[in-house]
A and B are shown apart, each in its own frame.
Chain A
Amino acid sequence: MTDEKPSEAEKPEDKKPEAAKPAEAAKPEAAKPADAAKPDAAKPADAAKPDAAKPAAPAAAAAPKPAAKAPEPVIPATAGKFEQFLKEHGIPCERLPLSLTIETIALSGDVLQAALRLLRNSSEVKLDLLLTVSGVESNDTFDSVYHLWSYSNLDELVIKVLVKKSDVPEGDLPAVPSIANFWAAANWHERETYDLMGIRYANHPYMRRILNPWDWEGYPLRRDYKQLVDSLNDKNPHSMR
């Protein structure tokens, strides 16, 4: 498996659906050996963490760190904390087995606003630091990924909003609700994701390109992106380069 997989994953720009599938299928399996390796491999890092919490700022000291004590369960005891929390409040979500250390949950775009309002403002969970908004293109979805941290404790959460490519109308962009009403920080991150990955954020205050010129065509980080003008060998008579 390890021999063939890299060759497939090497060329994500190849639009062969078969080429991409094995890599996809391999993900849960590949995650398992990592699981098994985790207790011994991650010991030094984990062991360092409880010590770390002590000299930390007083606000951070309260956070529980059960992962280091019990090497037996692979998923840390705090696992699914946010998933549970959201489900208790009637918001459908699903935990993705992508990362061992950080909880990753998938949400649908319709409930993103409600979920973030809860996660940001409730007294139990205070995920009030938005680190970044990223756009990811996988084989059959466009993902808008939110990394949330907290100012007052060590919690962290990754939220993914997956938009199926088959659901996106021809010639249109995948749409996800903007969260710029919660964090001004999201404004530029969402503009960048729109610019490079072509995900449109609905209700965004200023949905324009930010890094590329406003008249740029295409979304450079997409797999099917072709640059219209070859900047090294420019044959375009209208080009100013």
Chain B
Amino acid sequence: MATEIQEIDLKTDEMIINMGPQHPATHGVLRLLLTLDGETVKHTEPVLGHLHRGQEWQGQNRTWFQYQALIDRVDYLSGMFTSWAMARACEEIDGTVVPPRAEYLRVMLSEMNRITSHLLWLGTYLIDLGAMFGFPFYPFREREKLFDLFEEIAGQRMMFNYIRIGGVVRDPKPEWLDKLKRFLDEFPDRIDEYETIVTQNPIFLKRTKDVGILTQAVAKDYGVTGPCIRSSGIPLDLRRTKPYSVYPELKFDVITFDKEGDTWDRYMARILEMRQSIEIIRQCIDKLPSGDIMGKKQMAGMRIKAGEGFSAVESPRGILGCYVISGGGEKALRFRWRNPSFCNLAILPELLKGCPLSDIMAIFGSIDVILPDVDR
């Protein structure tokens, strides 16, 4: 007698899970409200604002001089770029001419900052993926060396306040340049070292290959910028497509891949960018002209002419925009930041749709979001 097989429709309910804000892999305090069907993510809602400090409000209630020192905190991993965006917007309104030496120093220090930012990303991303064997400290070793150089020239390791409206604040000594050259000579070997461990690591490949594919249509729709969009095959790099400062005089190519990028491609884009930054800094050292480094008198009661200015720089995370409205006084009438993290984070629900729970951190980490930059 054949046994009767009864089909039972086992229905599972959708479950809402709260991830964060204290989750160690959320790079700050991001809260994700996940709707799960079993292990599959159906819907994600990021809840922002845990680090909202009213940076835009402070811009309107502090003098230009005071606010300059504050904006390094908007994105604490790439303070040079926030300073630079603000300085360029104000210079555009004011008509300030920045001396060429200052421009070269800006490019040089910013590219160094790009390397430190990517190094931190590399270390923490590997932790996000569960690589707890000590690898994360390899990138930090080189990052420390760069921070020592920053400390020497700017007086601060992370909150530089080095790029000011009109120029830069301190001139490097020849010994400093020698130290930087020595670092640049050894750094490519260190990148090789990371790549030996990570790039073709089978576990890493399994976690990242074909995970979180960012299509060009979605990327354009959400205004994604930076390594994320370049690894998806859109060559949007402001340093080349809309060049500013002295980037036109430097030789380098936009790093893009000819397919729609997955998580591994975003990793590779950043590794290649670090190598590219080394070349850019080398060129800057060779071309560094002599002369003045400041085109505007720095004083507490500094004023900017009335007008509007918008500037954008290519930060490690994407296009960082600064929109300034000045009434001609000591303070701005309106400060508005276009933060790459804020815009890039918006694609997270799109990328997470349908992926398993375990991929969330692999995808979230790969878009390189800094929460103070999101919440301001």
Instruction: Determine if B222 is an interface residue (Cβ-Cβ < 8 Å).
Output: yes
B321→A147 contact, CB < 8 A: yes
Stretch with Cβ within 8 A of A (4 or more), from B36-44, B161-169, B173-181, B307-315:
B307-315
With a CB–CB cut-off of 8 A, which chain B residues contact A154? 241-242
Given A151-B236, A188-B346, does the pair A57, B329 have CB atoms closer than 8 Å?
no
Q: Which residues on the B side are within 8 Å of A211 (C-beta)?
A: 48-49, 52, 375-376
Contact B92 A60 (CB under 8 A): no
| In the assembled complex, B56 has its CB within 8 A of some CB on chain A | yes
| A87 to B246 Cα, complex, angstroms | 37
Counting CB contacts under 8 A, is B248 at the interface?
A: yes
Residues of A with C-beta under 8 A to B186? none
In the assembled complex, A130 has its CB within 8 A of some CB on chain B: yes
Interface hits, A200-217 → B, CB 8 Å: 210-213
> CA separation between A134 and B333, bound complex, in Å?
13
CA distance A9 to B305 in the complex (A): 11
Determine if B338 is an interface residue (Cβ-Cβ < 8 Å). yes
Whether the pair B56, A184 counts as a contact (CB closer than 8 A) is no
CA distance A138 to B310 in the complex (A): 17
Complex alpha-carbon distance, A102 and B100, angstroms: 24
A21 and B97 CA atoms in complex are apart in Å by 30
Judge if B31 is at the interface, Cβ distance under 8 Å: no
A76 located at the interface, meaning its Cβ lies under 8 Å from any Cβ of chain B in the complex:
no
Residues of A with C-beta under 8 A to B327:
5-6, 8-9, 12, 23
Contact with A along B25-61 (1 / 0, CB 8 A): 0000000000000000000000011001010110010
Partner pick for A26 among B220, B234, B254, B328, CB 8 A cutoff:
B328
Q: Chain A: residues with CB nearer than 8 A to chain B?
A: 2, 5-10, 12, 23, 26-27, 30-31, 34, 37-38, 41-42, 44, 48-49, 51-52, 55-57, 59-60, 98-99, 101-102, 104, 128-132, 134, 136-138, 145, 147, 149, 151, 154, 158, 183-185, 187-188, 192, 196, 210-213, 220-221
The contact sample of 29 A-B pairs, CB cut-off 8 A, is: A6-B327, A23-B327, A30-B328, A34-B93, A34-B95, A34-B305, A48-B249, A51-B248, A57-B240, A60-B240, A99-B308, A99-B309, A102-B310, A129-B223, A131-B321, A134-B323, A136-B336, A145-B336, A147-B338, A183-B222, A184-B222, A184-B346, A184-B350, A185-B221, A185-B223, A185-B343, A192-B342, A196-B57, A212-B49
With A5-B328, A147-B323, A183-B222 known, 5 other A-B pairs at CB within 8 A are A12-B60, A48-B249, A52-B247, A57-B240, A184-B346
